[in-house]
Structure 1
């Protein structure tokens, strides 16, 4: 699971993800496919990427729409990476990077047309995040939010035990749809992130990074947990993963 969005940076986690293109599972082609079907947005939408990490999605959104993206993350390390990446891509004029708490945004009501968030809502709890972010959206504004979700009811006990500890509020897709409806959203579509996006774009680069960094007792603890997460995903990825919920303000 993505770890870049904690309100207070935990040094071993931040160091472990430093320099990685993605701080959690994701895929640019997959995201572009979702964007290609968002036909109701303005030509130059007002965009926010909450829990942006080092900007994989923020930069993609800026390129896709050629519109400004306000990118928020709690980690100054990752915000600085975003600034550097934006400059390398000559997109710095379209990126507004903010180190801050995505639960305490003092933005005007209705100031966002497209709210994007990958692997970050779990820090607040999916439903709580939706309720906090809903007022930010314009009339008929769209939110695209990825959330760890169970794909089945008959999940093996090792996976249940791990995620009960790691993310007790993790729900099924049906439960998350209900949570979105209760938060004044309608559901436009849902999309499961392909398994390949976990391995190629996140786990494999992260595994290489784990082999490069200096091992301390606190780092070792984090690495053990991530290795267990990888082992479980290899066995049980048919039963859970990230679902992207495409929601419209209702």
Structure 2
């Protein structure tokens, strides 16, 4: 027999807790002639069993019901479902903490953060010590803070010999230029890369062209291209961020952005680029869009991770109008424009496979090329020519 203090010590509970157990008739002591209440081994075992049931998430009242009657299966199934949800939440919480500490699945965390809060995610990356250029590359390319440098070294190795860093063609750049309803004198090209579109603009207008990119090596190649053609007096290469353009208000009558607006988000780009554009000025931008609602799960899952803000053409057109522009025209890039990009990229990937067998960057590029090859009927680039409405 055990006095209440001895029972409390044996089961690891306080005297107050045991008195509450007795009030609920979970245990029942026997009062001796000397006034002390004592408890048996049966009470000890009953308390231990109650503690086991409590650990499963049952209340004391529910524990009493389980001990004194048949098991309430509905009750237990509800508790099990609730516990599974709590476990899943805890596992998710652990995954987030592990990713922040440099462990676990970095890519999944960065993709999820970019989908839920793209601007806040980018600000957070910058606060972790990344310059904006590298933060953007981490957000869109490596998605892993620990392996970012190695990833980008491999990525640049793949692209360093390639002229095109995105789908396009001189013919379709010219088609878009011919749809521009004004005569341009000052063009701002955003995301100029190595100058393929710049060359079309220079050869088919008399405008001064400011070519902006945040990759100096690409601008160096652009400068070489125009030096060879004797046109350096018309081209002004500027290494700068598209998110913080260093130009006065109303400096340009035409902004040209092939495949670059997605980096900061199309809606954000249309808003932030607007001040440097003259009234009635024109923007030509291309964006990756869905062509159909009938999409394969593989293509949809891939682009959800790579470009969460990918929209249908109709959605983009609505966003353009809300941003204060009229739509002049729009048309899709041809399959040939895609081949101009991904066939050389595919060949380059094959050449490097033996020397880069464990490269995450190379494997990601191969996956992307495979998506292009199989699903180009479901998505593609749309060229949008839009004109600023003066306010």
1:117 corresponds in structure 2 to 257
Hey, which of these two has a bigger chunk of helix by percent?
2
Match of 2:384 among 239, 245, 249: 245
Match of 1:225 among 343, 364, 367: 364
Q: Which 5+ residue runs of structure 1 have no aligned equivalent? A: 1-5
What RMSD over aligned residues (CA atoms) do the two structures have, in Å?
A: 1.7
2:162 corresponds in structure 1 to 20
1:145 corresponds in structure 2 to 285
Residues 10-89 of structure 1 aligned to structure 2 (within 5 Å): 10-42=152-184, 45-89=185-229
- How many pairs are equivalent? 241
3-state SS of paired residue (1:128): helix
C-alpha distance in 1 between matches for 2:377 and 2:207: 37
C-alpha distance in 2 between matches for 1:222 and 1:114: 35
Match of 2:317 among 177, 190, 215: 177
1:11 CA displacement: 2.9
TM-score by length of 1: 0.91
Cα deviation code 1:160-202 (max 9, x no counterpart): 0000000101111111111211211111111100011111x11
1:34 CA displacement: 1.7
TM-score by length of 2: 0.59
Cα deviation code 1:38-96 (max 9, x no counterpart): 23224xx2001101111111121111113211001111111111111111222211111
Hey, which of these two has a bigger chunk of strand by percent?
1
3-state SS of paired residue (2:188): strand
Answer 1 or 2: higher relative contact order, Cα 8 Å, separation at least 6: 1
1:156 lines up with 2:296 in the alignment: yes
* 8 A contact 1:134–1:183 mirrored in 2: no
Q: Which 5+ residue runs of structure 2 have no aligned equivalent? A: 1-131, 138-151
Structure ID, larger Rg: 2
